[in-house]
Amino acid sequence: MTFEPGQVVAPSDPRIVLEGQWGHQPGVAITVNSGSRISFWYAGERLQLLFDTDGLTVAPHLWVTVDDREPELHVVDGPVIELSEPEGQHRVTVVVKDVNEHVNRWNPPFECAVVFAGLVLDARSVLRLIGRPGGPRLEFYGDSITQGVLSLSNHPESDGADGTTSYAYLTARAFGATSYQVGFGRQGISRPGNGEVPPGLESFGWNFAGSPAERVEAPDVVVINLGVNDLTLDVEEYAEYVRRVRAAYPSTTIVSVTPFSGKHADTIQAAVKTLDDPNVVLVDSTGWITEDDCTDQVHPTVTGHAKIAEHLVAALEEHTALRRPAAG
C-alpha cells in the first residue's frame, strides 16, 4: 500500500510526549542523551517519524516499540523511519539507545544527536491525545555508566551501549517516573567529557551548548553519580556541584551516590557533610557490584546495571518519599 502523506505534526504538538533532556529549536526537538523518550498514540495504519540528519557523521541508535511487541533497533542514518501496522489503534514508544560519546554532541552543529522533526501521518491515520506521565520526576546526572556505555559488550561504539539497560533507566521505570537521564562518557565534576562535553560543573543546567535545560516542574529527586572520572577531587568542588543543583531546585531531595568503584567516596561523604543540608542524602554504593559484574572491570554489564538498580531503588525508598507502584 502506498503511503499517502496527510497531516504533518510538529514535535511540540501536545499529542507527542517527550521525556528526558530535550532542547527545542524551531521545528525540531533535540537530545544528546541516551534514555530520552518519544511517545504517542495513533489510529490507522501508517506514519513516518522524521529526523534531521544533515551534518551528522555518526548515526544515533533508537529502540522503537509498537504496542506490546519487542523493541526494534533503528540506526538513524536517514531522515525517515516508516511504521506500518494493521488498521487499529497503536501506541508507539521511541527510546534513545545511544548517542555516540566519541564525536561532538555538545556544540551545534552536532556530529551525533537525535534531532526529531515530528511525524507525517498517512491520509487515513489520526494522532490521538495520550495522558502525560503521572508518576514522580527523577533526574540522574552521571558519566558513561549512567549513559549505558559498554553495557552490552566491549564494543567501544554505540553497538556496545544501551541507555535502556542503565541503572538510571531501570530505576526510573521501577518508580513509574518521568526521567531525565543525563550521562556523558568520561565526564567528572571538573573533568570534561568526551564529545566536547564540558565538566559537570559547567554542563549542569544545559541540554547542550546554547540550550538551557528549563523545567516546568522541579524533580522530586535528583541522583548524582559523578566523580569516578576525576583524577583528583576535592571537597569544595563536589560541594559546589551540589550547591548548583540546589540553586536550581530549592526543595528537591538530592541523592549523592558514591562511585561504584569506591573512588573519592571519602571526599564525597565529607562534601555532603559540609553542606549541612537535610535534603541532601549520601548513599554509599560500596559492594553493590564487583568487577565480575562489569564488561571491562569498570562499566557494568546488563546484569550489573540491574543489580545497581535493585540497590538504588531500595535506597531511594529508604531515604526519600519515592515508592514503587503497587503490583497489579
Predicted pLDDT at 69: 96
Q: Which of 184, 242, 187, 189 is nearest to 31 (CA)?
A: 184
Give this prediction's pTM: 0.96
Tens-digit pLDDT profile for residues 253-295: 999 999 999 999 999 999 999 999 999 999 999 999 999 999 9
The tens digit of pLDDT for each residue in 171-181 reads 999 999 999 99
Going by pLDDT thresholds of 50, 70 and 90, the confidence category of residue 326 is confident
pLDDT digits (tens, 9 = 90+) for 200-235: 999 999 999 999 999 989 999 999 999 999 999 999
Query: What's the average model confidence in pLDDT over 24-34?
Result: 97
pLDDT-derived band at 2 (thresholds 50, 70, 90) equals: low
Distance CA 45, CA 43 (A): 7
The size of the chain, in residues, is 328
Closest-CA residue to 145 (of 260, 20, 258): 260
pLDDT band at 328 (very low <50, low <70, confident <90, very high): low
Residue 276 is predicted with a pLDDT of: 95
What's the grid cell of residue 157?
A: 561504539
